Amino acid sequence: MKIKVFDNEEDLYNYAAKIFINEVKTNPNTHLGLATGSTPIKLYQLLVEDYKKNKTDYSNVKTFNLDEYAGLDKTHAQSYYTFMHNQLFNHINIKKENINIPNGKANNLNKEAETYGKLLIKEGINLQLLGIGTNGHIAFNEPGSPLDGKCSLVDLTKNTIKDNSRFFKNINEVPKKAISVGIGDILKSKKIVLIAVGKHKAEAIKKTVNVKPTTKCPASALNNHKETLILLDKDAASLL
């Protein structure tokens, strides 16, 4: 894994945006793995700005999201489907049929997870974007998740439910389960870029960077992946 620390968020996000824009320009049929949460919002804004200015072409790009809340219809304001369309997909020329997000309202969520996992393995990811939870989770792989795990229906921890409750009217509305790609699926991506900003991520980053992979911190599995780049602001890097 490589680590890059930036003096400010602006430089970090400009750097990250260049990586994604360059990937799309050099490989117009690329498969991008995409993440949700507050961390990628600025990156998506920069991709949209670049699209408007430079007409970077997404018409043959396929995207695969990491996860979706179980039980939320895609039209729900807090579904990751809605998030991705509001932040990115509605503003670039990606084709609807090239967007892949697990269906959190599927009748059989275990089957949906299995089918999505198979699709991921068949299609493969060239460049995967990741954020990190304050407990070190990646996608929705909470501490204790197998480091070679596949896409599945997972339980969210109290910590994650509390962290994510800021997006909902109250904590009781936060789903308790999600469909999430596994750590094993993430490690199959050719390249991975993980972004963390803010002091509240410093502890998780300390447990992630240059350590022996452990299920206690899911992101530590990235130490087993040669093409992982970790982009940090000074605050997220403050405990390294």
Q: Which stretch binds ligand GLP (CB under 6 A): 4-12, 35-43, 92-100, 209-217?
A: 35-43
Q: Verify binding: residue 129, ligand GLP, rule CB under 6 A.
A: no
Q: 67 an active-site residue?
A: yes
Q: 200 an active-site residue?
A: no
Quickly tell me which residue has 């807090």 as its tokens: 78
Q: Which of 47, 61, 127, 139 binds ligand GLP (CB under 6 A)?
A: 139
Q: 137 an active-site residue?
A: yes
User: Residues 171, 161: contact at Cβ < 8 Å?
Assistant: yes
* Active-site entry in 135, 141, 164, 233: 135
Instruction: Name which of residues 38 to 77 contact ligand GLP (CB under 6 A).
Output: 38-39, 66-67
Q: 73 an active-site residue?
A: no
In three state form, how does the secondary structure of the chain look?
CEEEEECCHHHHHHHHHHHHHHHHHHCCCCEEEECCCCCCHHHHHHHHHHHHHHCCCCCCCEEEECEEECCCCCCCCCCHHHHHHHHCHHHCCCCHHHEECCCCCCCCHHHHHHHHHHHHHHHCCCEEEECCCCCCCECCECCCCCCCCCCEEEECCHHHHHHHHHHCCCHHHCCCEEEECCHHHHHCCCEEEEEECCHHHHHHHHCCCCCCCECCEHHHHHHHCCCEEEEEECCCCCCC
Q: How many residues bind ligand GLP (CB under 6 A)?
A: 14
Q: Verify binding: residue 149, ligand GLP, rule CB under 6 A.
A: no
Calpha distance 23→13 (Å, rounded): 15
Shortest distance, position 167 Cβ to ligand GLP, whole Å: 8
Q: Verify binding: residue 175, ligand GLP, rule CB under 6 A.
A: no
Shortest distance, position 158 Cβ to ligand GLP, whole Å: 13
Shorter beta-carbon distance to ligand GLP: residue 9 or 57 = 9
Q: Which of 37, 117, 184, 218 binds ligand GLP (CB under 6 A)?
A: 37
Q: Which of 35, 47, 193, 230 binds ligand GLP (CB under 6 A)?
A: 35
* Active-site entry in 23, 68, 142, 185: 142
Q: Verify binding: residue 131, ligand GLP, rule CB under 6 A.
A: yes
Q: Which of 129, 132, 204, 231 binds ligand GLP (CB under 6 A)?
A: 132
Q: Which residues are catalytic?
A: 67, 135, 137, 142
